[in-house]
Amino acid sequence: MLSENAYAKLGSRFRRLLAIRDAEAILHWDLATMMPSGGAAGRAEQLAEMRAVQHGILSAPETGELISDAAGLDLSTEQAADLAEMKRMWARANALPEDLVTALSRACSACETVWRKARPEADFAAILPYLEDVLARVRDTAAVLSDALELSPYDALLDEYEPGGRAGDIDAVFADLAAFLPGFLARVLDRQAGQPQAILPQGPFPIEAQRALGVRFMERLGFDFDHGRLDVSLHPFCGGTRDDVRITTRYDETDFTSSLMGVLHETGHALYDMGLPANWRGRPAGEARGMSLHESQSLLIEMQVCRSPEFLGFATPIMAEAFGGDGPAWETENLIRLYTRVQPGFIRVDADEVTYPAHVILRYRLERSMIEGQMEARDLPAAFNEGMQNLLGITPPDDGLGCLQDLHWYDGAWGYFPTYTLGALSAAQLFAAAKQADAQINPAIGRGDFKPLMTWLRQNVHAKASLHSTRDILTQATGKPLDAEVFKSHLEKRYLKQAWM
């Protein structure tokens, strides 16, 4: 009787698990956007208890017995993929003691709360003891998972965000980019110097007008406001659940361009979540397939589509109307120059797509060094600044523009950073394949019609959820696994061959 019902019983168990995870996501969104500061201690306990409940469901002896029993059943291809995801999640949870899971959750909540004050004040000293606590717990977690999964400590963390991802593969890709980018950057800057300088439209740009513009483009792209929201946070993110997607941005009344691209980036994430197959809801195989594919969807929208001449030709009059703009700064060619301007800068989320990989390579190297014990948290500011100087030729004037700028390390997301650049490479490859498959995609974007592109993405990426590996989804969609040459070709075309650059 157990064999006949093992998979069905697992389905019930994992539906409960994923429902609790969804509730945790909403609590975390509230923490980042609306929760009063006095609620921090209570919220930390709530999140820790929710993590404990999830861990208990996964690590219960019956879960392992059901997985083992279901492995002998005659399952469909999709059910087998679902069971494989269940087993992967169970193996990670089963390796970790509950007290370590809750200790890490509490440490991350405390550190994130302090970060929200320390970052704008550029006060690394204030957060250092909290970061040291997080790093200690993360190292313990990595060590336990390393032994259980027979992976290196860093790979054991990476595998949570990029299932099957390995540092050795990333090293090869990043070494190739690190060799290519400095010379390419120099060529782009030299070409840019001989072109008309981009003019930044002058504000002020009221926040409500910026929000209304963002909402207008979100709706054009296909964001469903019956199942999502746009809010404000210190660090832009996409969270919530697939039926209630919460995205955030931050506004600058002197410059609307950065906030708008942040909204478009997070909308790409949201559209992926909203496009996951409805008939696989509540099952692990119906969840998003890792963060490099997730980042490919946000970067495809932000970088590949919304910085293209087709999109900006459509969007320029809408932007001008939103702010009453007029004159040379509001001409399409100027906004194309503005949105494709290459300039080394301090902030990762505002970086152009040529210098962006350098930001990610630096963070990847630093977090590996800290996980592997080659450097300590106290060494982070100096090491970060040195890396910025070596990779981009600039040194942050303070830690707010340096090692404090990203939330990831302070809320426990170690092993996440490399997925950004893997996502950028995947985005270039997917967009190239989409345009090759449907020649109407670019002309439609020029009219503000994103349905042809979204139809292709729904069929070739979103509908695949976690039913296949990242490598297989990319190969099925584009005809080959990840290929950095497609990304480099895209950069060459956009930054060295376009007439307006």
Asked if 129 and 384 touch (Cβ cutoff 8 Å), the reply is: no
Asked if 418 and 364 touch (Cβ cutoff 8 Å), the reply is: yes
DSSP code per residue over 248-312: EE---TT-HHHHHHHHHHHHHHHHHHHTS-GGGTTSGGGS--HHHHHHHHHHIIIIIITTSHHHH
Rounded Cα gap, residues 331 and 325, in angstroms:
10
- Does residue 287 have an active-site annotation? no
Q: Six-digit token pair at 50?
A: 């929710």
Whether the link from the prior residue into 129 is cis, omega within 30° of 0, is no
Rounded Cα gap, residues 62 and 478, in angstroms:
41
Rounded Cα gap, residues 288 and 114, in angstroms:
30
| C-beta contacts of 118-125 below 8 A and 24+ residues apart | 118/404, 119/234, 119/400, 119/404, 119/405, 120/234, 120/400, 121/400, 122/398, 122/399, 122/400, 122/401, 122/404, 123/399, 124/380, 124/381, 124/399, 124/403, 124/404
DSSP code per residue over 106-146: HHHHHHHHHHHHHHHHT-HHHHHHHHHHHHHHHHHHHHHHH
Question: The sheet that has 228-232: what strands, in order across it?
Answer: 228-232, 244-249, 238-241
Instruction: Choose among 266, 269, 233, 274: nearest CA to 251.
Output: 233
Q: Which of 24, 160, 266, 302 is catalytic?
A: 266
Q: Six-digit token pair at 287?
A: 């969840």
CA within 13 Å, CB half, 462: 23
CB within 8 Å of 99: residues ≥ 6 apart: none
Q: Give the residue numbers annotated as catalytic, written as ranges.
A: 266
